[in-house]
Structure 1
Amino acid sequence: MAGVTFNDRLRVAGRLAARAAAAAARIFRTPLLAVAGLRRRAPVRLLIAPQDIRTSDPTLAADIYAGYFAFGGKIVNAHGRSPFELEPGSPAWARALAGFSWLRHLRAADTAIARANARALVDDFLTLAGQPGHSEAWEPQVVARRLLAFLSQSPIILEGADRAFYRRFMKGIGRSQAFLERKLAMGLQGEARLAALIALAELGLCAEGPNKTQQRSTRLLTDELTRRILPDGGHVSRNPQVLIDLLLDLLPLRQAYAARGLQPPAQLLNAIDRMMPMLRLFRHGDGTLALFNGMGVTQPELLATVLAYDDVRARALTNAPHSGYQRLEAPDAIVLADAGRPPPKDFSQRAHAGCASFEMSIGAFRLVVNCGAPDANRPAAREAARTTAAHSTLIIDDTSSCRFAAQAGMSKWLGGEMVSGPDSVDVERFDDASTSSLTVAHNGYDSRFGFIHERQLSLHKDGRRLDGVDRLRPTISHPENRSFVVRFHIHPGVRLKRVRAGYAVLCVLPSGRRWLFESPRLPVEIEESIFFAGPDGPRSCAQIAVHGYTLDDSEVEWSFLQAERKKE
């Protein structure tokens, strides 16, 4: 527990006490919930099948028919057995298999073999893993994903099915419904709660049943959307990927209301309308999303699908104070900055310690990046990617501005939650005819080192220069003199070369355009880094690093400016 403060321990103890109290309440309620669940009848018939707008690949149907299941970066050959009998390749693989989102590839194949294969695999699951248990298949988010997949892919599952299978399938849907309702009544929180409510609301529209069931699920969902989608359109987790995932589910839900001849609730429509321009805020010139708070590889086909439903083609937000993000934009240059506090604890499982970090793109090419989040099969790398050192910002004494449960030795109880982080982040923005300027100051280093980190960014309106200043303001009389590093992680496609006696670095983009990084007072180093968000997996890259000491170098000036193209 090195580096964990007394206040951190108090926060962890309080969090564990709250968890214990909630668990005691759940134990008390469980018998009552079980009795209530016995009274609920499983849905008898499906009336509509919502559209799954995720992209599909019919060629994958042949791989699945041949027994190859590739999920979460792992490929498992079933060798003629049911995949639900196999030892999972990883927890992420098991979740993806039991989520059944891959059924859309079988439907896209549109062959009799694919339809029979889909029904056989669903039957295998219902027989071998269809009862609630402690495996990944019965985690609430996985159950919600499976329920949505069963509803949207019901035409391929049920085509040609006999009455016995139809009844077994509907009973499976009923078990999922009862499971999710029980978890919600027991206090399910975080991203899993919203996923469960979306699945239940969609089931209420698709299945024949009492109208009050559909009305209740809609009311619970709209209440949760009001709490979790912020006024500027961001999600409370502050993770750009969550926006994509939610829209991929909310857009078909909106269509399902129309298919049943019902008016979608205003809260749903308003949430979608707010989320679209927020999603555009994160887009770089190459179409990928900024790597903040758990964002990894951008899947361009999914992003394009979501944005195609943006009826008003809203412009990107530039100022998102509720979500804590800022966008500075000029011709051919975009700067995106994290200017917010960490998310609430229940939504911090994937959040990063990147306050005051920024990314920059020039035209269709990324220049400054954060390291991004690797896939779920790399847990150690995922923890490393969450640290401040993996972001383009200042770090004191190689210590992150946020502390995580793993650092406090509490990951067994708190998972990946944040224990503490900046609770005061001041943001000022100023736009005039010549520049767009942003100042972000946070207290993530105050309790341990006695300093406030303040960063100022100024993007010139012609898009040819970004000026920056990092300041360390002491909050106590005699702080210790600590080392710090201002890091600028550079995209793998950019070549770097130290120039001007080590006080500048020449950055050559893939297009041949040249940008010069300068730090006039302190020498500049080029160090190794890693980029986790490459579509083909992690890639080595470089970072520009400016080293100093808190008392000797309390202000670091730097700039990126466009250089003249080298003459041939």
Structure 2
Amino acid sequence: MNTASLSERSRIWRLVALHIWQRSLKWMHGGPLFRMQPFSAVPARLLIAPQDLRTADATNAADIYGGRFLFSGHLVETQGRSPFELQAVHEDWQRELHSFGWMRDLRAADSQISRQNARALVEDWIKFCGRWHDIGWEASVVTRRILSWLAHSPFILQDGDHEFYRSFVRSLARQVRYLRQTINETEDGVERLHAALAMASACISMAGQGRFARQSIRRLDQELTRQILPDGGHISRNPKALIDILADLLPVRQAFVAQGLEVPPAMVQSVDRMMPLLRFFRHGDGALAHFNGMGSTPSDLVATILAYDDARGAPPQNAPHSGYQRLTGGNSVVLIDTGPAPAIGVSGDAHAGCLSFEFSSGNNRIVVNCGVSPKSNPAWRRVSRSTPAHSTAVIEDTSSCRFLSNRPFGHILGAPILSGPVRVPVEREDDAAGSRITASHDGYASEFHVLHERDIRLAGDGTVLDGIDTFSAIGPVDSENRYAIRFHLHPGLRSSLIRGGSAVLLVCRDGEAWEFEAPGTEVMLEESIYLSDVYGHRKTEQIVISGAVLEAPSVGWQFRKTATAKLSRRGTSDFDEPDELPLEE
């Protein structure tokens, strides 16, 4: 057994030991003993309701009133029963139900019926699940429910009697106490930070919290300081984390201001750092790049969050602590993953996409990563996290990171990264002619004795993107080992081989055109799939360059703009729209 395998086994056993220890502590702090404890500390009243920044859909209110609940792709009809009485329903459906995020849809309907329905459903939850529910009392679900109840408390409580008010506030306070006692056992990363946010939000929203408020604010400061990096990124390296955190952090900050309280310094600094980095990850069409767990972009929510950005300056060009680089020229944007794998405890959604890049021109996204499937399907999740699902080089179809497999511990520990790139040196040059990034990673060093280096240069006017991929041997290399350099194309493009198969023509919807070529190598067009689309999974294509590591250790390639957008008289492109139908599984 080699040293790498021993190291991975050691990490697995440490994870197992930590999991058992945390489960034991959680059972002590939030298990049967918690449920048996008397609880009389009921706040007298609610003082303020933090704002909910997420988009609501009032049309869902009628379905909920009719007992039709469509959550996580699963439709359940209650047939006159309370949804909280139902058993053997999909776990993701139950998590969304118990999180009460759909309360914003009832509020958007703004009718007497929707208010009565909201109160009835809250009463049902308190009656059937207020003491305990296996899924309803998961820390992440409790967090989302607290934030939702607080944000929509004026709507829920309007026209309600004193008994309901008392019951509502009592249940809310009990849930906050549960988080306070179990926060150290929650999953590290965004989940723990959200729990700290929920605690702080509740303590400034409810009267008479005293020392609990001070403790909660101090804990939130600690988590923000620990989890938000100096460049504004999150320790998980997931751009989606910025959206999720800001969507809850901004209302809490506003609640501090409304209450006349001093906003904690860590909260101010975290917002000021995250806002520019959120802009950093955006393409010209507003979508965020698909790195390390980022799926389709919730455009409305991102626009709402950015409206709170007072500075509204240009995005930074590099994020060294988060491990990303941004190249801009003309209307073109290139975003590159130049960071090592995140720490094992926050790598549950991280991808094996080191040195992958995304490329856009204006509103046209050209090169993308496959992204993340919105479907709760373990198979698609494994596919999306693998190196071949990214626009980078892969050796022998093997990911540059090793994930914990499903057996024997995957079902309890998830699939964190056990090993991956550790050293990712980066050099950057910016001048009048353009910007250049040179980076390498050692993700293939232990198994294949190869370092992958990528040199990318974007011209100052944004019309040419040049790249060189180099594979350097650092030990004995099997002569049979082959690499594949993949460029996944956005499904909005139409691609075709030209010049006898030595180049690829890419035509955008608005008529803009680009040519790809890799002199001296065979260029292939193969099928691919785009997972992060609002329409579902969509068929697309990928450009692939293959070669033997020893025979052709260096490959140069280029994207060159050959035509600008040309609109028809109708104000739309003469280029036919691509098939918008979702790809069936």
The TM-score bracket by the shorter chain reads over 0.9
Contact 1:240/1:279 (8 A) holds in 2: yes
Q: Could you tell me how far 1:90 is from its partner in structure 2? A: 2.8
CA distance in 2, matches of 1:186, 1:515: 51
CA RMSD of aligned residues (A): 2.3
Mapped contact 1:319–1:327 kept (Cα < 8 A): yes
Give me the whole-angstrom Cα distance separating, in 2, the residues matched to 1:380 and 1:99.
Answer: 26
Q: Which residue of 2 aligns with 1:369?
A: 368
Structure 1 residues 346 and 33, CA gap change in structure 2 (3 angstroms): farther
**1:505-520 paired onto structure 2 within 5 Å:** 505-520=504-519
Q: Which residue of 2 aligns with 1:63?
A: 63
1:356 is aligned to: 355
Deviation of the 1:341 alpha carbon: 1.1
Q: Secondary structure at the match of 1:138?
A: coil
Distance 1:92 1:48, change over 3 A: same
Q: Secondary structure at the match of 1:454?
A: strand
5 Å-filtered alignment, 1:131-530, equals: 131-135=131-135, 137-186=136-185, 189-406=188-405, 409-530=408-529
Which residue number corresponds to residue 538 of structure 1? 537
AA matched with 2:11? R
Q: SS state of the match for residue 542, structure 1?
A: strand
Shift of 1:158: 1.1
8 Å Cα contact 1:330-1:461 kept in structure 2: yes
- Offset at 1:489? 0.2
**What's the secondary structure of 2:373's corresponding residue?**
coil
**Counterparts of 2:345 and 2:435, CA distance in 1:** 34
Stretch of structure 1 that moved more, 81-90 or 538-547:
81-90
1:106, distance to aligned residue in structure 2 (A): 1.2
Q: Provide Cα deviations, 1:377-422, integer angstroms capped at 9, x if missing partner.
A: 2221011100000000000011000111126653123212111111
Structure 1 Cα separation of the partners of residues 47 and 414 of structure 2: 40
* Superimposed CA distance per residue, residues 524-563 of structure 1 (whole angstroms, 9 cap, x where no aligned partner): 1111110011111110100000011111111111110112
- One-letter amino acid of the structure 2 residue matched with residue 481 of structure 1: E
| CA separation of 1:15 and 1:497: change in aligned 2, threshold 3 A | same
In the alignment, structure 1 residue 98 sits paired with structure 2 residue 80 = no
Q: CA contact under 8 A between 1:337 and 1:358: conserved in structure 2?
A: yes
SS in structure 1 of the partner of residue 546 of structure 2: strand
* CA-to-aligned-CA distance 1:229-252 (integer Å, 9 cap, x gap): 000001111111111111110110
Change (3 A) 1:131 1:431: same
- 1: distance between equivalents of 2:175 and 2:132? 8
CA contact (8 A) 2:510 2:565 kept: no
Counterpart-to-counterpart distance in 1, 2:215 and 2:533 = 42
CA contact (8 A) 2:479 2:548 kept: no
| Residue of structure 2 in register with 1:116 after alignment | 116
Counterpart Cα distance in 2 of 1:332 and 1:352: 28
Partners of 2:146 and 2:518 in 1: how far apart? 55
Instruction: Tell me how far apart the structure 2 counterparts of residues 311 and 566 of structure 1 sit (CA, whole Å).
Output: 33
Q: Match of 2:555, SS?
A: strand
Range moving further from structure 2, 123-132 or 30-39: 30-39
Q: Using a 3 Å threshold, how does the CA distance of structure 1 residues 87 and 38 change in structure 2: closer, same or farther? A: closer
Counterpart-to-counterpart distance in 2, 1:16 and 1:480: 39
Residue 139 (structure 1) shift: 1.3
Task: Single out whichever of 533-542 and 7-16 deviates more from structure 2.
Answer: 7-16
Deviation string, structure 1 residues 50-89 (Cα, Å, up to 9, x no partner): 1112122222222221222222222222222212223465
Query: Equivalents in 2 of 1:33, 1:263: separation in Å?
Result: 37
Deviates more, 1:318-327 or 1:71-80: 71-80
Matches of 1:119 and 1:241 in 2, distance apart?
32
Using a 3 Å threshold, how does the CA distance of structure 1 residues 339 and 414 change in structure 2: closer, same or farther? Answer: same
SS at match of 2:316: coil
- Partners of 2:36 and 2:317 lie apart in 1 by 49
CA offsets 1:157-191 (integer angstroms, 9 cap, x no match): 11122222222212211221121112124465332
Residue of structure 1 in register with 2:48 after alignment:
48
Amino acid at match of 1:434: A
Instruction: Give the length in aligned residue pairs.
Output: 565
Which residue does the alignment assign to 2:569?
A: none
Distance 2:143 2:64 in 1: 22
Whether the 8 Å contact between 2:101 and 2:145 is mirrored in structure 1 is: yes
> Which of 151-160 and 364-373 deviates more?
151-160
TM-score normalized with structure 1 length: 0.95
**Secondary structure in structure 1 of the residue aligned to 2:124:** helix
- 2:19 is aligned to 19
- Change in Cα spacing, 1:31 to 1:100, as seen in structure 2 (3 Å) is closer
SS of the aligned residue for 2:425 comes to strand
SS in 1 for 2:302: helix
Letter aligned with residue 338 of structure 1 = D
Greater shift in the superposed pair: 304-313 or 157-166: 157-166
